[in-house]
Amino acid sequence: MNTLKKISALLILFSFVACAKSAPATSIPAQPLEATSPPAEVNVTSEPTEISAATEVAATEAVVVEEEVIYGELARGHIETITEEIGARWSGTQEESATAQYIEEAFTEMGYEPVVKPFERMGWVDDETETAFKSANVIAVKEGESARVMVVGAHYDSVTDGLGADDNASGVGILLELAERLADVSTPYTIYFVAFGGEEAGLLGSTDYVYSASKDELQNIIGFVNLDSVIAGDYTYVYGNEGKPELRDWALNWASENDIELQTIYDVELNDEDGYGTSDVYEFDNARIPFAYFESTNWTLGDKDGYTQVDPQYGDDGAIIHTEYDTLEYIDETFPGRVDAHLNDVIRIVYALLTEY
């Protein structure tokens, strides 16, 4: 019995030792697995990765969002070139011819195939002296969805006083910017961009344009947009013929809907006291073609006839056109920001008119 007890005691002791040795072998690896668990590392790095991807998407979207277009920069460049490099350009002079060449080259660079149409017509040197003038109209055609035609015109000559920045490099600048912006844009009608010569000598270019057109060609014109002296005056106006006011009224409505200040004078008198026209709309109106004539002035000043453009303390008793004050430098210095504001407004309105009317 004593021997058996000893053997049993030895067996129990052996089993206890074996269990004690085996226990640490299974418990030691469990502790490092908890401390260095891979899921914990993945969770720490995955969250910043998701934020970074979202940021990249937002940044990409921000890049592709189209900024608001500010019109007028191209027009200002043309005004500067015409007035500073060519200067005053009286009808029929070399300076007027140089301006016609500049316009032709500008159209060509835009991808148009401009046509220069020379003419010779009797005009006025002053109120009493009539003589023959040789000049030209420069025409670029932008084909539209319809063969019906919208004519956009601006005269490029000037008087000899000043540099003709307002009258009428401003109109030419707008004409050229519109032509460039619309070159590859679909338009409902075919557009004729026309730079008229000889306006100051008696509306010679626009008269020749209308007189040279056939009856069918005139009937095919749905409207005429005239751009003349648009950067110096206090306010921007659009005029129209009362019998066919649709272009004028469309422009007024669009401007109102788009928070642009645009005024008009109903039943406006655009002829002088002798009944002669004072702008290139004259013969288009006689041909019963609807027109929208844009200019800047202030009809509440002076004789309230539109010739006093600004407060009489500025310019020549309120007049800028046909004076020594008709320079871009004077207008910019006297009325900071006005040139760019007027250019932007008029181009926006006419661009909409040519693409949506």
> Which pLDDT does position 143 carry in this prediction?
98
Q: Which of 115, 133, 116 is nearest to 124 (CA)?
A: 133
Reported pTM? 0.82
Distance of CA 251 to the CA centre of its chain: 15
CB-based contact 152:194 (threshold 8 Å)? yes
Instruction: Quote the tokens at residue 25.
Output: 């072998």
Cα 234 to Cα 12, 162, 164, 199, 301, distances in angstroms: 114, 19, 18, 24, 10
Phi, psi of 139 (to 5 degrees): -125, 130
What is the pLDDT tens value at each position of the chain, 357 positions in all?
444 344 344 333 334 334 333 443 333 333 333 333 443 443 434 444 444 444 454 444 555 555 677 899 999 999 999 999 999 999 999 999 999 999 999 999 999 999 999 999 999 998 789 999 999 999 999 999 999 999 999 999 999 999 999 999 999 999 999 999 999 999 999 999 999 999 999 999 999 999 999 999 999 999 999 999 999 999 999 999 998 999 999 999 999 999 999 999 999 999 988 888 999 999 999 999 999 999 999 999 999 999 999 999 999 999 999 999 999 999 999 999 999 999 999 999 999 999 999
Question: Which domains does the chain possess?
Answer: 73-356 (3.40.630.10)
Q: Length of the chain, please? A: 357
> Which pLDDT does position 8 carry in this prediction?
42
With tokens 């003349």, the residue in question is: 228
